[in-house]
Structure 1
Amino acid sequence: MIEAELKARVRDPEHVLDALEKFAAGRPEVYQDTYYDDPERTLTAGDRELRIRTVHGAETISVMTYKGARVDEASGSKPEHETRVEDAAAAHALLRGLGYTPTIEFEKRCRNYDFERDGRQLLATLVRVPELDETFIEIETLVEADHQVAGALTAVREVLEGLGIGNDALTTELYTDAVAARRRDVR
């Protein structure tokens, strides 16, 4: 599957929150993310990601995610393969045993909204990363093939426009890069 996604900076979080609450009931969740790479950083060099995420919400679950290289440069949309893991500690140990090491760990405070628009399932996530002094919104939908990404992104853009978020607010900067830069600046 390909995660057709757009991410934007939110200038008026309260307005966006109010608008999203009209789409669906929001689900507050806290993500504990750990990203891995090999010692040569070949995943990062190839624009790929390997992550274990523990989600604390109504229940606590952990998932392992692999994201391939971008299939759409403008949005940063990537193929994504994800599976739930029963034992996060064992999954972390498994990756370390295979030679992967954590490259960065951080927390995301999210409010998620699942809704349907024109027959397409969408997920909107309002995001705060405590180390970053910004609020972001991610809107995504899953498609099966590269040629479906453009149409999916059109639907995502329409939702963003309906929330009052224009193209000038879009960003493809990864949270991993932003958090790493912030940590370097603090040193």
Structure 2
Amino acid sequence: MPIEAELKARVRDVPALVAALDERAKAEKATYRDRYFDSPDGTFTSAGHELRIRTVETDGGVRNVLTFKKPSVDVASGSKPEYETTVGDADAAESIVVGLGYRLMIAFSKQCSNYRWHEAGRDLLATVVTVPEIDGTFVELETIAETEGDLSAALELVRATLAELGIANDDLTTELYTDAVAASESRG
């Protein structure tokens, strides 16, 4: 069961972070258009599950990804078992998801710069993120833990790498973009 070992943080010094990431990898700019779904009574999401259709737009093209995440297996990081597959048509995938009884919970876009590299035997992905509805810039750093037993080692590498990038433990957050966007929209 693959687990996304990920930590997210607010970025205090964006130019310094970008410079440190540029030393590791070349940035790929992308726009993520995310649609999250929930059961009609909200119990699917409140139980910690996530169901998302993401359209990723880059200079290289467009791809659509259907993602299902189980509840967190690590409370401190929010790391979750994750299953993803590419889908050809995001609107058709949404019709299927809605036809199965789920409802669109929230949709928003993220402006991202993705940095991919290999370190300590693992593939790492750092994503520098801005969301129009949320103040500030975030960084997400992730790798995949193949099992729950491998999660601690994976998160240790993620924490150490974030520290090397100038991200302090006080900057870490487990707040979900979905919650932050929903709060922003409710303030209207």
Q: Please tell me the TM-score bracket, short chain as reference.
A: over 0.9
Question: How many residues are aligned here?
Answer: 186
Deviation at 1:23, TM superposition (A): 0.4
- Deviation by residue 1:143-180 (Cα, 9 ceiling, x = unmatched): 11111111101100111101111100000000000100
Deviation at 1:22, TM superposition (A): 0.7
SS at match of 1:133: coil
- Deviation by residue 1:2-45 (Cα, 9 ceiling, x = unmatched): 00000000011111011101100000000000000110112112
Q: 2:163 aligns with which of 157, 161, 164?
A: 161
Q: Is the 8 A contact 2:39 2:45 kept in 1?
A: no
Deviates more, 1:125-134 or 1:37-46: 37-46
Q: Measure, in 1, the Cα distance between the counterparts of 2:119 and 2:160.
A: 10
Alignment TM-score, normalising by the size of structure 1: 0.98
- Hey, what does 2:147 align to over in structure 1? 145
Deviation at 1:97, TM superposition (A): 0.9
- Hey, what does 1:83 align to over in structure 2? 85
- Hey, what does 1:39 align to over in structure 2? 40
Q: Measure, in 2, the Cα distance between the counterparts of 1:19 and 1:74.
A: 25
- Hey, what does 2:185 align to over in structure 1? 183
Q: Is the 8 A contact 2:53 2:66 kept in 1?
A: yes
Alignment TM-score, normalising by the size of structure 2: 0.97
- Hey, what does 2:11 align to over in structure 1? 10
- For structure 1, the 5+ residue unaligned runs are none
Runs of at least 4 residues off by over 4 Å:
none
Deviation at 1:120, TM superposition (A): 1.1
- Hey, what does 1:65 align to over in structure 2? 67
Q: For residues 17-28 of structure 1, what are the structure 2 equivalents within 5 Å?
A: 17-28=18-29
- For structure 2, the 5+ residue unaligned runs are none
Q: 1:111 aligns with which of 106, 113, 121?
A: 113
- Hey, what does 2:175 align to over in structure 1? 173
C-alpha RMSD of matched pairs (Å): 0.7
Q: Measure, in 1, the Cα distance between the counterparts of 2:152 and 2:185.
A: 35
Q: Measure, in 2, the Cα distance between the counterparts of 1:42 and 1:184.
A: 20
- Hey, what does 1:55 align to over in structure 2? 56
Q: Measure, in 1, the Cα distance between the counterparts of 2:119 and 2:73.
A: 23
SS at match of 2:173: coil
- Deviation by residue 1:110-165 (Cα, 9 ceiling, x = unmatched): 00011011111100000000111110000000011111111101100111101111
**One-letter amino acid matched to 2:75:** E
SS at match of 1:164: coil
**One-letter amino acid matched to 1:170:** L
Deviation at 1:59, TM superposition (A): 1.1
Deviation at 1:67, TM superposition (A): 0.4
SS at match of 1:23: coil
Q: Measure, in 2, the Cα distance between the counterparts of 1:163 and 1:112.
A: 15
Identity of aligned residues (%): 52
